[in-house]
Chains A and B, each alone.
Chain A
Amino acid sequence: MPPRLRQPRLQSPSRSIIRSPPCQCLCEKRSRQFSSTPCNATRQRAEMFRWLNGPGNVFRQPLPGSTNYLNAYDRSGNLLRVDNSNAAQGRKSGDGEKKKDEGGDAEVDLETSSIKKKSAQRPSPEARMKGAPLPKETREDLMPFPMNREFRSQSVLSEQLKDAIYRKVIEQGKSVRDVSATLGVEMRRVAAVVRLKAVEKQWEEQGKRLATPYSKAVLSMLPQTPYIENDPMPHESINDLPVHRATLNQIFHPVSESRHFTRSDAAKVFQPDLLPADDRVPHTELVQLEKWRFEGIQQDQRIAMMREKNEKEAQAKRDREARRREREARETTKVDNGRSIFKFQEVKVDERVGEKGRGREGVGARYGVPHEDRKKGQIKIPTRVE
């Protein structure tokens, strides 16, 4: 191999004539003005940076007071709803209508300088905030994935709404069901909010630092459901009927023309023990109240009846629980040896093991089937954490 000769420090005039290929990446600052090394960035990388510094620059920082998703902008990085509202105003004043800009492809491929000019013309988010407030997001603006029209960013509970839920459940002692119905928040979510709020209070008592700046920043990027004291806005649909597997099949079920065929009849056709939708929704009490209203019962009477019904149900539940506990106490023998308590229970093997002797409840369920959990490399992930 020939010895490598060092490059002369001073460039000869002939060498300086050979110009390095134009830099593909965005060296706007011309930081490597005197470098003769060719820029290594590939064409695609250069294109990416052109997009990130051009139309994509709107995603670099959150849009103050609004969400900032891909679908809210056109190809050249203009907020569509601002353009649309401007167009609507123009139409009102008698101007020709302006169609939504779809052919933005060419604009992306334009020179960087022109894009820069465009972005300079566009008012900055701060300036826009100081001027007119942004119009509210439409359904389209809340789609983070432009290809997926069936997914959109749904609103989250605002801090005030969470506070209100916690106040109502813990301080005013209302039931989760009531709070869910009045605020339009799913019951499981109400329970979750109360639990999380309780943890927050505990942290405050312990003097742990909360991630307040993070919380503020994230909530400002998300659509939120506000809390209005006397006229609460529903957050989500609270009466979601889960689609039962038995109802997925189409059934041709001939009935006589004169028959009054109701929902509960239909449920029985799908599966003999399937309950009708009225009893399968989470808030059955709302349906019942409404039924009484159609029967013409006065409001205070309706409320009294509902209270009575709830009381009866609660009593039945308590009775059931007491009976269960009693039966358990009768059937189990406890032996306390000071260190631990052994519980013995009578078991009828014949019933549990089933016909083949390998029923899941019985003792021989896995007879002859090895457990692999002692093998090398086998991990046992817990299925439940209490």
Chain B
Amino acid sequence: MRKRFHGLKRPRLRQSWNKYNLYNLSRAEDPIRRERTFFQQKWTAKSMTRAYHGETVREQKWTRMFRRTIKAVVPMDHRYLAEKDGSELAEGRGSGLDLAPDQKPRIIPKTPYMNMTYAPTERRLDTAIFRALFASSTRQARQFVVHGYVRVNGQKMIYPGYQLNPGDMFQVDPERVLYATGAPKDRQERRAGRKIRALRASQKEAATEETSSEPEPAAEPQTPSSPPPPESTAPAKSTKQTLQSLLAQAKLILTTPSQTLTARRKQDLRAFQRTVKRTLSRPDTFSTATSLDAQLSEITTKMAPEKPTPTPSSTTPEEDIPKLSTPELQAQAESLTPQQLDTLRLALQEARDNPIDASKPYATPWRPREWMSAFAFIPRYLEVHHKICSAVYVRHPVARPGLAEVPTPYGLHVNGLAHNWYLRRR
């Protein structure tokens, strides 16, 4: 059986936002004791660092990934490059002129090369997803990849070990990201979610029974050119039928053998079929109107502490008042001052962006999970756009004076020992 992932007795630091991990991180000390043999020190360093970096990667695989060459950069000043041609470094007695103590340039900090030992693991897709703050641990990121929620350059990628290339864009399904980074549901919310699921299941069952009882009318609409029925009571159904007929047509074209149908055209048709199927399988979008009403009480409490200040009524209030679902609420809203109206508008916008929805797997309205802020950082080799849950792997991580871009909890000494371990010729 595997050892505890987040242990307290033999603590290992992990790539995770767990509170156990935070506690272990807060009390962690340099694990290397100098009185032990060099081999023992290296072994400990290797095992501690490997528990954090790519613990899902097998040792054999990692040793093949490991590179002794380390990428580094030196920031250059274009003014210096233009002004001096480098010969000034050999002036005087051969090592540059002696400057007055107040003119001496600042000492450039050393480049921490050793902290870049595990740079190759940062190229892995699952690690990059965790670093972009799209998952609460690398294991969760790995699961998202395996379950098919991740796309690389628009294509589904199911391998967590995919090595990102500079310029690759990866996207995670926003629902998964909200689930991974959001606070969990409490008991009542879970119960409400169960109820909604049961209701939906029963509705689905009823719908399937309906279609199975009368197969003739469902098969009848074969003519795609016929206009959709004008009744507004079933617009969804009519669009569904047209889509289905389009799908049937595409299938007919594909199955009949012909010379003119090129491979490219077949591919297009198949892609079209896929999109139609996806559209058909998507459930109707959840209307936010009811949840907006549910949040009105919250909004009114928000407005309560504000005192109505007299303001010049230059704007026309009729246009600015947001539309609410019931006439009583509308009347209430019309009696508000402009400042309160602004607050109302902001609150409504917020509620629209972040609605209460018990069917979601996370607590709604969405809020970040606990203990997240201590782990929230984004290394510079990634460019993350959180609104669309996408990121670009801009370049490989590099070391620069005073800074190594690989996020590792251990210091130079431990990482150096680990690097030394993998330098071993075997």
Q: Which A residues are within 8 Å of any B CB, using their own CB?
A: 42, 44-45, 48, 51-52, 56, 59-63, 67-70, 144-154, 156-157, 162, 186, 188-189, 191-193, 195-197, 199-200, 203, 209-215, 217-219, 221-222, 236-237, 239-243, 245, 260-264, 266, 276-278, 281, 283, 286-291, 293-294, 338-340, 379, 381-386
Contacts and interface: CB of A to CB of B under 8 A. Distances in A.
Interface in B252-296: 259, 262-263
Nearest to A199: B388
B302 interface: no
23 contacts: A44-B8, A52-B23, A62-B376, A146-B25, A148-B115, A148-B411, A151-B115, A151-B405, A153-B377, A196-B383, A212-B354, A213-B365, A214-B181, A221-B372, A221-B376, A243-B74, A245-B69, A266-B86, A277-B76, A287-B81, A290-B78, A290-B79, A290-B82
B379 A154 contact: yes
Interface string B324-336: 0000000000000
Interface stretch (B155-163, B215-223, B337-345): B155-163
Given A211-B387, A385-B153, A188 B410 contact: no
Contacts of B184: none
A369 B353 CA distance: 58
Interface in B374-408: 374-380, 383-392, 394-395, 398, 400, 402-408
B310 to A, nearest CB: 25
Contact of A211 (B71, B386, B406): B386
A145 B48 CA distance: 15
A60 B369 CA distance: 8
A45 B75 CA distance: 46
Contact of B112 (A150, A189, A210, A294): A150
Given A189-B394, A210-B388, A379-B159, A48 B368 contact: no
Contacts of A215: 386-387
Nearest to B412: A150
| Interchain residue pairs A-B with the least CB separation, the first 6 | A290-B82, A263-B86, A153-B377, A237-B75, A192-B392, A62-B373
B9 A44 contact: yes
Determine the interface band of chain B, counting residues with CB < 8 A from chain A: 35 or more
Nearest to A237: B75
B192 interface: no
B402 A150 contact: yes
B355 to A, nearest CB: 10
Interface stretch (B164-172, B205-213, B235-243): B164-172
Interface string B18-30: 0110110111111
Contacts of A288: 82
Contacts of B90: 261
Given A215-B387, A338-B262, A51 B379 contact: no
A384 B390 contact: no
A222 B378 contact: yes
A187 to B, nearest CB: 10
B77 A239 contact: yes
B403 A67 contact: no
Given A151-B407, A199-B390, A281 B8 contact: no
A45 B8 CA distance: 7
Contacts of A48: 8, 20, 23
A283 B78 contact: yes
A59 B371 contact: yes
Nearest to A219: B386
Nearest to A148: B411
A241 B153 contact: no
Contact of B155 (A188, A195, A385): A385
B174 A209 contact: yes
Given A60-B371, A150-B402, A294 B83 contact: yes
B80 to A, nearest CB: 9
A146 B408 CA distance: 10
Given A196-B385, A211-B387, A240-B400, A217 B169 contact: no
Given A59-B374, A217-B367, A261-B90, 18 more contacts: A69-B374, A146-B28, A147-B410, A148-B408, A150-B112, A195-B392, A210-B388, A212-B353, A214-B178, A221-B373, A236-B380, A245-B69, A261-B87, A263-B85, A287-B82, A289-B82, A382-B157, A383-B163
Contacts of B182: 214
A146 to B, nearest CB: 8
A144 B378 CA distance: 11
Contacts of B59: none
A197 B379 CA distance: 20
Nearest to B28: A147
B129 interface: no
B120 interface: no
B383 A193 contact: yes
Given A56-B26, A385-B153, A260 B87 contact: yes
A245 B71 CA distance: 9
Contact of B370 (A60, A63, A218, A245): A60
A246 to B, nearest CB: 12
Contacts of B384: 156
B72 A243 contact: yes
Contact of B165 (A200, A240, A266, A384): A384
Contacts of A214: 174, 177-178, 181-182, 366, 368, 386, 389
A42, A196, A240 — most chain B CB neighbours (10 Å): A196
B411 A239 contact: no
Contacts of A152: 403
Contacts of A68: 373-374, 376
B387 A212 contact: yes
Contacts of A281: 76, 78, 81
A67 B378 contact: no
A264 B389 CA distance: 45
B76, B162, B263 — most chain A CB neighbours (10 Å): B76
A110 B377 CA distance: 32
Contacts of B169: 192, 195-196, 199
B321 interface: no
Nearest to B349: A212
